[in-house]
Amino acid sequence: MSEETGAESLRTYEEINAKIKRGEAVVLTADEFVAHAAQRGLEAAAKEVDVVTTGTFGAMCSSGAFLNFGHSEPPIRMSRCWLNDVPAYKGLAAVDAYIGATAMSESLGFEYGGGHVIEDLVSGKEITLRAESYGTDCYPRRSIETTVVLEDLNQAILINPRNAYQHYNAATNSTDKILYTYMGTLLPGFGNVTYSGAGQLSPLYKDKGFETIGIGTRIFLGGGIGYVIGEGTQHSPQTQFGTIMVRGDLKKMTPRYLRGATFHRYGTTLYVGVGIPIPILNLRIAESAALADEQIQTNLLDYGIPSRNRPTVKKVSYLDLKSGEIYINDRKTPTSPLSSFKFAREIAETLKHWILERRFSLSRPVELLPRQRESKPLEVRGGQGVLTSATAPASRTTKATDTRRE
């Protein structure tokens, strides 16, 4: 009879935290555990290691921050709001706002967006706050312009609806035109391949069965401590496209692990550093944590097809992608990562040292993330906005598969 999900048959959270408190916990990064399991064997490694730390640092477009500005004199009920000329969402109470990573400056466009505002806030820079209102009896002010820094704000909470995809599709372009996408610039005629995700360091791939990650899991987030608050949007664990929703205090983060960025002729985003400690509670978790780059595969999709069902060119492993080149139609094609392996390793190492220094303990989730979720498409009804074959670029591939969007 198989163990239940999250069974603590090798060790418990309490036992791990007691060892952390005594300075006796055995902690390895995911890279180290892959090598250790290969050398010692899976069962021996599982018995010897208490925690495996992970890391990823990549563009996470579904990110942003809730901000509370406090009340001015006289007070204003902000109905529209801008931070450094980037619009923030104001369908909230008087002086609450949400700044999204992909919101773009109304004056600078692609050059500056919500992700840059968040980085600038965490860097301690002054931000120009501008707001408008229709005025009410209790909130008579109709406009305001001032500057704020992070410490002026009552709350600045990073709440990201979708972060840390388990893995992600790689991208190429079969057409005869350069394409500008959220997967970067794709050269014509299968001229290059871009990819994202941290491979064997990937937090959600190291707990593929979602036996340790859930609501309340304490994590590394943006250089500080954060928490998983639930499944992320578009969470599809059965296809290995699991995601998480996370929160953390911006005032305790660092701009090293929160970077505003622009994808040329596509839009703005925020690079986010995420690291999750994986407790080795049972052998299944150890088996997942020991997966190496050559065992983690993804689909290479043709982004030349403007469809949610882009064709698969071929399957590739992260080992292949990390090598710097793969073959497409018997021709070498260069590959380049959109996420940083240097920073992913750094995050995993930092989290490891936090645990060894007794600055970070593990938290048992109050509810594990779901292991099954239907991922529904948006069906366009009424015949509006249909892309015709006359406007679709010609493709050199024919095989179709499901895909995920940023």
Q: Using one digit for the tens of pLDDT, what is the confidence trace for 324-337?
A: 999 999 999 999 99
Residue 402, pLDDT > 60, answer no
Which parts of 341-406 are beta strand (E)?
367-368
Q: Please report the pLDDT score of residue 271 as a whole number.
A: 98
Q: Which two tokens stand for residue 229?
A: 């608050």
The span from the CA of 196 to the CA of 124, in Å, is: 29
Distances (CA, A) of 157 to 24, 120, 216, 222: 34, 15, 16, 12
At residue 385, the pLDDT reads 59
* Number of domains the chain contains: 2
Classify 320 as helix, strand or coil.
Answer: helix
CA distance 376 to 383: 19
pLDDT at 217 over 50: yes
pLDDT, one tens digit per residue, over 293-314 is 999 999 999 999 999 999 999 9
Which of 153, 172, 204 finishes a domain?
A: 153
Question: Cβ(224)–Cβ(317) under 8 Å?
Answer: no
Mean pLDDT in residue range 272-283: 98
Rounded mean pLDDT, 205-220: 97
For 265, other C-beta atoms within 10 Å of its C-beta total 11
Q: Is the peptide bond before 74 cis (omega within 30 degrees of 0)?
A: yes
Question: Is residue 168 located within the same domain as residue 37?
Answer: yes
Together in a domain, 130 and 269:
no
Region of poorest pLDDT, from 1-5, 225-229, 244-248, 353-357: 1-5
Average the pLDDT over each of 56-60, 181-185, 269-273, 377-381 and give the range with the smallest value. 377-381
Examine the pLDDT at 10 and tell me if it is beyond 50: yes
- Mark which of 99, 123, 153 sits at the end of a domain: 153
* Tens digits of residue pLDDT in 81-132: 999 999 999 999 999 999 999 999 999 999 999 999 999 999 999 999 999 9
Cβ contacts of 66 within 8 Å, gap of 6 or more:
96, 97, 98, 155, 156, 157, 159
Answer yes or no: do 311 and 191 share one domain.
Answer: yes
What number is the average pLDDT over the span 345-352? 98
Grade residue 396 by pLDDT with cuts at 50, 70 and 90. very low
The count of C-alpha atoms lying within 13 angstroms of the C-alpha of 84, restricted to the half-sphere facing its C-beta, is: 22
Q: Residue 335 CA to chain centroid, in angstroms?
A: 21
Domain of residue 83, residue span: 70-153
Q: What does the pLDDT look like over 185-194, one tens digit per residue?
A: 999 999 999 9
Report the C-alpha gap between 279 and 274 in whole angstroms: 16
Residues 243 and 287 in one domain: yes
In this structure, the answer to whether residues 316 and 184 fall within a common structural domain is yes
> How far apart are the C-alpha atoms of 290 and 43, rounded to whole Å?
11
207, 313, 393 from 170: Cα distances, Å = 22, 10, 19
User: Looking at the domain assignment, is residue 375 inside a domain?
Assistant: no
Residue 406 has pLDDT above 90, yes or no: no
Q: 223 and 338: one domain?
A: yes
Residues 279 and 148 placed together within one structural domain of the fold: no
Stretch 1-14: mean pLDDT, rounded? 90
Q: What is the pLDDT of residues 314-323, one digit of tens each?
A: 999 999 999 9
What digits encode the pLDDT tens for the residues 197-206? 999 999 999 9
Contact 42, 287 (CB under 8 A): yes
Q: Decide if 384 is inside a domain.
A: no
Does residue 20 sit in helix, strand or coil?
helix
Nearest partner of 336 among 165, 171, 199, judged by Cα: 171
**Side-chain half-sphere of 297: how many Cα atoms within 13 Å?**
7
99, 127, 153 — which closes off a domain?
A: 153
Confidence of residue 397 (pLDDT cuts 50, 70, 90): very low
Note whether residue 381 is domain-resident. no
Query: Residues 189, 308: one domain?
Result: yes
Same domain, yes or no: 77 and 49: no
Q: Which residues are catalytic?
A: 138
Question: Could you give the 3-state DSSP secondary structure of residue 331?
Answer: strand
pLDDT digits (tens, 9 = 90+) for 228-268: 999 999 999 999 999 999 999 999 999 999 999 999 999 99
In a domain, 396, yes or no: no
What six digits make up the tokens of 370?
A: 């779901």
Straight-line distance from the first to the last Cα atom of the chain, in angstroms, rounded to the nearest whole number: 40
Q: Once rounded to an integer, what is the mean pLDDT over residues 34-63?
A: 98
Does residue 202 sit in helix, strand or coil? coil
Mean confidence (pLDDT) of the chain: 94
How many residues make up the chain in this entry? 406
Q: Are residues 74 and 187 in the same domain?
A: no
Is residue 404 in some structural domain?
A: no
Residue with tokens 């978790």: 285
- Assess whether 180 and 107 both reside in one domain: no
What is the widest separation between alpha-carbon atoms in the chain? Answer: 72
Buried b (16+ CB within 10 A) or exposed e, 214-225: bbebbbbbbbbb
405 domain-assigned:
no
Residue 379 placed within a domain = no
Same domain, 165 and 115: no
Cβ(119)–Cβ(101) under 8 Å? Answer: no
Share of the chain above pLDDT 70, in %: 94
- Residue 402 per-residue DSSP state: -
Mapping DSSP to helix (H, G, I), strand (E, B) and coil, where does residue 250 land?
helix
Whether 263 maps to a domain, the answer reads yes
Let me know the angle formed at the C-alpha of 318 by 315 and 324, rounded to the nearest 5 degrees.
100
